[in-house]
Each structure stands twice: as structure tokens, then as C-alpha cells.
């Protein structure tokens, strides 16, 4: 019998998220989160076996414990113990692959890739482009390799879906030699989500991905838009780093780069301080103090003017990208909202397309506000462009890609 399980690992600097899925159906067998790895004090592990719903909606089987977690190896071993307690396991013959989310694949990795020494070295070489993320991803891969060297480890890159973006959209208009030497160009992120959502949107329309042009709006705490033509990404809002583009929970998105020089000269801020300002104290939080869209909308409805401005700035930027990508694509078949804000914030969806009838965009408020989960259309039947809500599932996409690769 062929092995059918895929363990998906998403390693952050101090956390490890994992999901065990049975493929090809994508059924979740267990999910978990290990936090506070390598920090002072005990770490924490939450494990949820199947039957309790991997989304955390269920309850009974959920297990939680505190334990010493000096490093990622300890975290993965602890996750392995929890899986073993459910009769699953890191060394189970059922395990077909371990799929790793890797944030930056540069221009090298255009597809999911089985990890070997050469691949590890290349991910290492890309560390300067993602100094926080790639080292954590590498730690996860190395740990998994040490624990189970026999099962294929597949790296799935956040940037891969965007490697089809043509040069005229990916190049910044700066000195070409400087750009080449330092690998400065638009890479884009959230690619696994944009790939998954654009394909699901085509399915929702009853068409093949090659037949449709889709604008995907991944609006979570981080946020990005992508223009997808016939299944291939042709533009995206994030750039060299995930700081560019839309207004996010705590990140500024687009600003005049001269703001950085200005803050340095006039405010005497260091590069590290400006980095922290733009990544952690900007976006919705910078504008109004809250980075959670639920709170922003609640305060706005209570008459809070700062929250109102934050919402309006967020929406203005979103609409600017929507309009830009209509121009990039020429013909648009669908706009898809996804991630925490995109899937849940009805008000954001309404405001994003309000008054855009001339572009063929409209929303049916009854459909928009219906308490329905799962992929769905929220545009009226007459609308030229379908507007959809498509829940993203990056773990399922990573498992799907990893499983396909090891069975190819
Ligand atoms: P994500 O990064 O995809 O997990 O999205 C997290 C963000 O989604 C949160 O910070 C909230 O701003 C937003 N969010 C989650 N649930 C809701 C909701 N019901 N309404 C509005 N925003 C939501």
C-alpha cells in the first residue's frame, strides 16, 4: 500500500505550525502549534487530533502542555510525540512526504522541490532576502531531516507562484547593475495562497484555470493582491519583501521611499528603527492603534474618526490595486477575496467594489452577508465580473504540491 500522509511544517522564528493530512483527499488527521521556541521560560504546545476539526472549532480531543523548548528540534520531537499518541507519527510508513513552507525561493525555485544538500545551500544563500524567515524554515527542514532522513522533504516556496511575473512588472526602475548585484526585484509572497485561491475560483466558475483571469486579494494580517492570467501570475503587490503594496495590519505597504531618508535625516532614526516602524507600527495599527479589522470596524461604527480614517486608507489602497490589475489583465473574469479579512469582513468587500459598476464589478449584499462558509459567489447574476469569497488553505496546497511531486 502506498503511503498517503503528508506532514506540513510551517516554521517561524519561535514557532512551529504543523498539520498532518491524508492525501489526495486532503483530510486533516491532526493539527498543532508549538510556540515560544528558544525563548526564556517554558514553551507551549497545542495539539488537535482529527474529529475535533483542524480549524480549532471542535473541542474535546485538544491537548495543551508547557515544556522546555530550547530549539526547533525539541519542538518537532514534541510534535512527533503528540502525533505518536494518536497512532500517527513522524516515522510512520504511512508518511509519504514532509512539506515545508519556505518563504523565499528567489528566482531559483519556481516549483516545489525535493530537499537535498544543494537545495539547502541555495535556501541558505537566499537568507539575505528573508533574514527572519528563511533561517527558521531551514531549521525546520534540518530538524525534520535529522529525525526522519528516509521520507522525502519537499520545500514549497511562497515566492514560486510569482516567478512567472514578467520583467516589466518585476523590475524596479533603479540602476540595473545595483539591482542585479543585490538581487533587487519584485518577488512577491503569499504565492501558495494566490495559487490555491485562483485555481479554486476557476473551479467555482466551472472553468479551467487556463481559461480565466482572476484578481486574488489575500487580506489577512499581511495582505497582498495578485493578477493571475490563465493560471499564471503576472503581477503582485508585495515586492522584494512583504512590506510593499496594500495597507496591512501593522505594515505600511507602499510609501514614498524618501520617507526613509526623511526620517533618517530629520528624526535621526536608525535603519533598524525605521524598519520596525514600517513593519510593526504602521498599517491599520499605525493609523488607529488597532490592527484587527473587527476592532477597526467596531470603533468606526461607534463614531471613532481615527478608525474611520484607517478603514478609508485601507480601502483606498485596495481599490487602487484592483483598478491597476484590471488594467494589467485587460479582461477580468473574477475577483476573489481570501484570508482573515477577505473571508470575514463583509464591510471591506462592499467598500472595495462600491461604485465600480463601470468595471463590471458589483456585490449582492444578501450573498455578501449570508452566513455561509466555503467558496462562494457574492456578485449578482448580471455582473460581468464574478466576485467570490474563497477561503484559503495554504497547508492543503503545500500537501497537494508535495504529494504530487513525490508521486510524479
Ligand atoms: P490571517 O492573517 O489571514 O489569519 O488574518 C487575520 C486577520 O483577519 C485579523 O487580524 C483580523 O483583522 C481579520 N479578521 C479575522 N476575523 C475577522 C472578522 N470576523 N471580521 C473582520 N476581520 C476579521
pLDDT tens-digit profile of 161-204?
999 999 999 999 999 999 999 999 999 999 999 999 999 999 99
pLDDT at 55 over 80: no
Tell me if 325 sits within 8 A of 299, measured CB to CB: no
Judge whether 185 lies within some domain. Answer: no
Burial annotation 326-344 (CB, 10 A radius, 16+ → b, else e): bebbeebbbbbbbbbbbbb
What pLDDT does 155 receive?
98
Rounded to the nearest angstrom, the distance between the alpha carbon of 184 and the centre of ligand 1 is 31
* Annotated binding residues for ATP: 17, 218-222, 292-294, 340-344
Judge whether 195 lies within some domain. Answer: no
Judge whether 275 lies within some domain. Answer: yes
Counting the structural domains of the chain, the total is 2
pLDDT at 43 over 90: yes
pLDDT at 52 over 50: yes
Q: Could you write out the DSSP letters of every residue in 89-108?
A: -TT-TTEEEEEEEES--TTT
CATH code of 256's domain: 3.30.420.40
Determine whether the shortest distance from the Cβ of 250 to ligand 1 is under 6 A. no
C-alpha span between 247 and 287 (Å, rounded): 10
Contacts of 331 (CB under 8 A, 6+ apart): 213
Average pLDDT over residues 377-402: 97
Q: Are residues 139 and 218 in the same domain?
A: no
Average pLDDT over residues 309-325: 98
Q: What is the pTM of this model?
A: 0.94
List phi, psi (to 5°) of 271. -55, -45
pLDDT at 46 over 80: yes
Determine whether the shortest distance from the Cβ of 221 to ligand 1 is under 6 A. yes
Q: What is the mean pLDDT of the chain?
A: 95
Share of the chain above pLDDT 90, in %: 89
Share of the chain above pLDDT 70, in %: 98
Tell me if 165 sits within 8 A of 159, measured CB to CB: no
Q: Are residues 80 and 217 in the same domain?
A: no
- Asked, as a colleague might, if the bond just before 238 is cis with ω within 30 of 0, I would say no
pLDDT band at 47 (very low <50, low <70, confident <90, very high): very high
Closest among 92, 99, 52 to 407, alpha carbons compared: 99
Express each pLDDT in 303-315 by its tens digit: 999 999 999 999 9
pLDDT at 90 over 90: no
pLDDT at 56 over 60: no
C-alpha span between 144 and 147 (Å, rounded): 5
pLDDT band at 57 (very low <50, low <70, confident <90, very high): very low
Contacts of 292 (CB under 8 A, 6+ apart): 249, 284
Q: Are residues 153 and 217 in the same domain?
A: no
Kindly calculate the radius of gyration of the chain based on its CA atoms and give it in whole angstroms.
21
Closest among 160, 30, 149 to 102, alpha carbons compared: 160
pLDDT at 134 over 80: yes
Q: Are residues 141 and 229 in the same domain?
A: no
Average pLDDT over residues 318-326: 98
C-alpha span between 282 and 317 (Å, rounded): 14
pLDDT band at 92 (very low <50, low <70, confident <90, very high): confident
Q: Are residues 346 and 218 in the same domain?
A: yes
Judge whether 115 lies within some domain. Answer: yes
Q: Are residues 58 and 117 in the same domain?
A: yes
Rounded to the nearest angstrom, the distance between the alpha carbon of 368 and the centre of ligand 1 is 16
DSSP letter at 31? E
What pLDDT does 2 receive?
84
Q: Which of 194, 242, 345, 392 to mutate to test the pocket of ligand 1 (most atoms within 8 A of CB)?
A: 345
Closest among 392, 354, 350 to 197, alpha carbons compared: 392
- End-to-end C-alpha distance for the chain, whole angstroms: 17
Tell me if 66 sits within 8 A of 43, measured CB to CB: yes
Range of the domain at 354: 206-394
Q: Are residues 109 and 242 in the same domain?
A: no
Q: Are residues 324 and 244 in the same domain?
A: yes
Judge whether 187 lies within some domain. Answer: no
Q: Are residues 112 and 255 in the same domain?
A: no
Express each pLDDT in 212-254 by its tens digit: 999 999 999 999 999 999 999 999 999 999 999 999 999 999 9
Judge whether 21 lies within some domain. Answer: yes
Tell me if 105 sits within 8 A of 160, measured CB to CB: yes
Q: Are residues 150 and 210 in the same domain?
A: no
Tell me if 205 sits within 8 A of 390, measured CB to CB: no
Burial class (CB in 10 A: 0-12, 13-18, 19+), 256: exposed
pLDDT at 54 over 50: no
Determine whether the shortest distance from the Cβ of 249 to ligand 1 is under 6 A. yes
Burial annotation 369-408 (CB, 10 A radius, 16+ → b, else e): eeeeeebebbbeeebebbbbbbbbbbbbbbbbbbbebbee
Which alpha helices (DSSP H) does 51-132 contain, by range? Answer: 72-85, 117-125
Q: Are residues 358 and 242 in the same domain?
A: yes
Amino acid at each position: 500500500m502506498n503511503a498517503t500522509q503528508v506532514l506540513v511544517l510551517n516554521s517561524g522564528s519561535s514557532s512551529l505550525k504543523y498539520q498532518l493530512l491524508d492525501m489526495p483527499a486532503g483530510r486533516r488527521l491532526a493539527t498543532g502549534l508549538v510556540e515560544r521556541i528558544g525563548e526564556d521560560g517554558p514553551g507551549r504546545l497545542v495539539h488537535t487530533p482529527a474529529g475535533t476539526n483542524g480549524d480549532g472549532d471542535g473541542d474535546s480531543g485538544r491537548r495543551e502542555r508547557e515544556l522546555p523548548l530550547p530549539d526547533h528540534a525539541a519542538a518537532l520531537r514534541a510534535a512527533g510525540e503528540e502525533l505518536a499518541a494518536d497512532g500517527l507519527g513522524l516515522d510512520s510508513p504511512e508518511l509519504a512526504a514532509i512539506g515545508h513552507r519556505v518563504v523565499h525561493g528567489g528566482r531559483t525555485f519556481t516549483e516545489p522541490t525535493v530537499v537535498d544538500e544543494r537545495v539547502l545551500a541555495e535556501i541558505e544563500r537566499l537568507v539575505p532576502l528573508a533574514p527572519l524567515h528563511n533561517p527558521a524554515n531551514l531549521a525546520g527542514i534540518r530538524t525534520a531531516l535529522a529525525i526522519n532522513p528516509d521520507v522525502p522533504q519537499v520545500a514549497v516556496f511562497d515566492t514560486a507562484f510569482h516567478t512567472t511575473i514578467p520583467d516589466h512588472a518585476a523590475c524596479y526602475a533603479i540602476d540595473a547593475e545595483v539591482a542585479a548585484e543585490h538581487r533587487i526585484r519584485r518577488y512577491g509572497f503569499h504565492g501558495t495562497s494566490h495559487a490555491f485561491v485562483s485555481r479554486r475560483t476557476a473551479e467555482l466558475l466551472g472553468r479551467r484555470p487556463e481559461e480565466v483571469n482572476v484578481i486574488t486579494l489575500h487580506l489577512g494580517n499581511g495582505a497582498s493582491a495578485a493578477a493571475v492570467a490563465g493560471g499564471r501570475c503576472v503581477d503582485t503587490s508585495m515586492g522584494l519583501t512583504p512590506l510593499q503594496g496594500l495597507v496591512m495590519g501593522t505594515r505600511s505597504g507602499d510609501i514614498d521611499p524618501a520617507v526613509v531618508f526623511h526620517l533618517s535625516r530629520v528624526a535621526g532614526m536608525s535603519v533598524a528603527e525605521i524598519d520596525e516602524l514600517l513593519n510593526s507600527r504602521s498599517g491599520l495599527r499605525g493609523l488607529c492603534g488597532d490592527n484587527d479589522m473587527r476592532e477597526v470596524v467596531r470603533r468606526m461604527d461607534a463614531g471613532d474618526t481615527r478608525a474611520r480614517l484607517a478603514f478609508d486608507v485601507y480601502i483606498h489602497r485596495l481599490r487602487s490595486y484592483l483598478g491597476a490589475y484590471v488594467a494589467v489583465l485587460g479582461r477580468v473574469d473574477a475577483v476573489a477575496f481570501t484570508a482573515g479579512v477577505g473571508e470575514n469582513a463583509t464591510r471591506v468587500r462592499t467598500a472595495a467594489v462600491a461604485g465600480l459598476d463601470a468595471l463590471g464589478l458589483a456585490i449582492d449584499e444578501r450573498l455578501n452577508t449570508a452566513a455561509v462558509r466555503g467558496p462562494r459567489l457574492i456578485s449578482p447574476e448580471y455582473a460581468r465580473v464574478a466576485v467570490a469569497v474563497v477561503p484559503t488553505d495554504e497547508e492543503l496546497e503545500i500537501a497537494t504540491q508535495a504529494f504530487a511531486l513525490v508521486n510524479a
